[in-house]
Chain A
Amino acid sequence: MNRTDFKLIFIILFISILSLILLKNNDLKIAHVYYENNLILKLPLNKNKIYTVDGFNGMVVIEVKDNKVRIIDEISPLNICSKMGFIKESYETLICLPNKIIVTIESNKKIDTIIE
């Protein structure tokens, strides 16, 4: 191996480390909406907007507002997930059991899991 090889290796290593650092510092929170195990929607929390997705019983209406997310309408016997209100931290989850819809928040997580 000559000097050019080392230069090349060095450049590749530098780029990969730099990209790792840059990717890690991305602080934007994104809400992930799952139907059973399928990720069906990603909602950036920095943009206020109302979304609708198809749940098991019909339409589920999700609102993003001021970096928080909540469910505002769905069809279920007890409407537990609409009553849960807003979530904003990565350890919080909205679960609509009858509609099989789960909303989680992805970000640089400090806590691995939470007991509900």
Chain B
Amino acid sequence: MKYFISLLMFFLLVFLIYSYIPKEYNNNYFYMGTVINVQIKSSKKNISKIFNEVDNILKEYHQLTDRFNEYENLINIYTINNTSNQLEIDPKLYNIIDYSLNWAELSSGLFDIGLGNVIDVWKDFINKKRELPNLEELTKLTKKEIKLIPPNKIIGGSNIELGGVAKGYVVDVIANYLKEQKINDFIINAGGQVFVGKRNKDYKIGIKNPDEMGSLLVIKGQNINVATSGGYERFLEYEGIRYHHIIDPNTLFPSDYMQSVSVISKEGRLSDVLSTLLFVMPIDEGLKLVAKLDDVEAIWYDNDLEIIKSSGFNKYE
């Protein structure tokens, strides 16, 4: 009997310990034209509720920032782009546009969320659905400026495209939600955009070398966001020149200063905007910009695939 009780106690103890060991969970979401993968490690029991809420967040931001579809009872980018009226918009959408316009001003227009139609033309060209566009035609597609009226209105009829900021923004919202739920060990991967949380050892994030399959550069850290912009994933080679879809607002042609750039910062929105911005800037100017910003580092692959790092980058290696 004594024997039996001690055995029972032992199993009870094992069971108790086991139920408090954090487990790994993994979920995929299909929004914003990509797969968003959320991995969390937690000993909580209500994980499916948390994953559902993440789905709600993603769905809401997906619909708000969608420029191709309209939804019932929702004013989104599609609505804004296809009217000339003044519209009252959701504060979430207002904030994304406001954040983007601030960066547009800070970068003297080099970060541009008004190039939707131009990007569409280039995407069609890359997908071999049309001839090589010319500058005259592209210039006609750039429409009037985007104007917000505080606290919650916008003037419609512009040409908004939030591809350079929306994913970073929603990744922040999800990360904050998970932290509120006391889930600190997480990885959110939204294609070109990774947010990692906090745990007892550093996360290892791989950045692909733009040309060689398989070769990786590894970044180590916690509570950071990494975003990459590159022209190497989807492109078309035409008469010896590579065309992709990250457009230099000055030339309205694909930017060709580098193969790719990755930005590390504390915020998804910041990494996302900066990687887009740095991609359309000469590398030496980008280095100067990064040096001015707190808690921001970057790494470039130039056109010869040489690696250039910002001054504080080594703390992530």
Contact = CB atoms under 8 A, between A and B. Distances in A.
A111 B30 contact: no
Nearest to B187: A113
A4 B2 CA distance: 11
A115 B28 contact: no
A30 interface: no
Contact of A112 (B34, B203, B228): B203
B262 A115 contact: yes
B100 interface: no
Interface in B1-56: 3, 6-7, 10, 27-28, 30, 33-35, 37, 39
B187 A116 contact: no
A98 to B, nearest CB: 10
B10 A113 contact: no
A116 B260 CA distance: 11
A12 interface: yes
Nearest to A96: B35
A115 B7 contact: no
Interface residues of B, number: 36
Contacts of B196: 112-113
Interface stretch (B70-78, B170-178, B206-214, B240-248): B206-214
Interface in A79-116: 80, 85, 88-89, 91-92, 95, 97, 100, 102, 110-116
A114 B28 contact: no
Dominant secondary structure at the B interface? strand
A115 B35 contact: no
Nearest to B28: A37
A102 B34 CA distance: 11
Contacts of B39: 113
B192 A95 contact: no
B6 A115 contact: no
Contacts of B191: 116
Interface in A33-68: 34, 36-37
Interface string A17-40: 000000000000000001011000
B205 A113 contact: yes
Contacts of A115: 189, 192-194, 205-208, 226-228, 262
Interface string B187-205: 1010111101000000111
A9 B14 CA distance: 11
B205 A114 contact: yes
B127 to A, nearest CB: 6
Given A97-B30, A100-B30, A102-B28, A116 B203 contact: no
Given A9-B10, A78-B127, A97-B33, A111 B233 contact: no
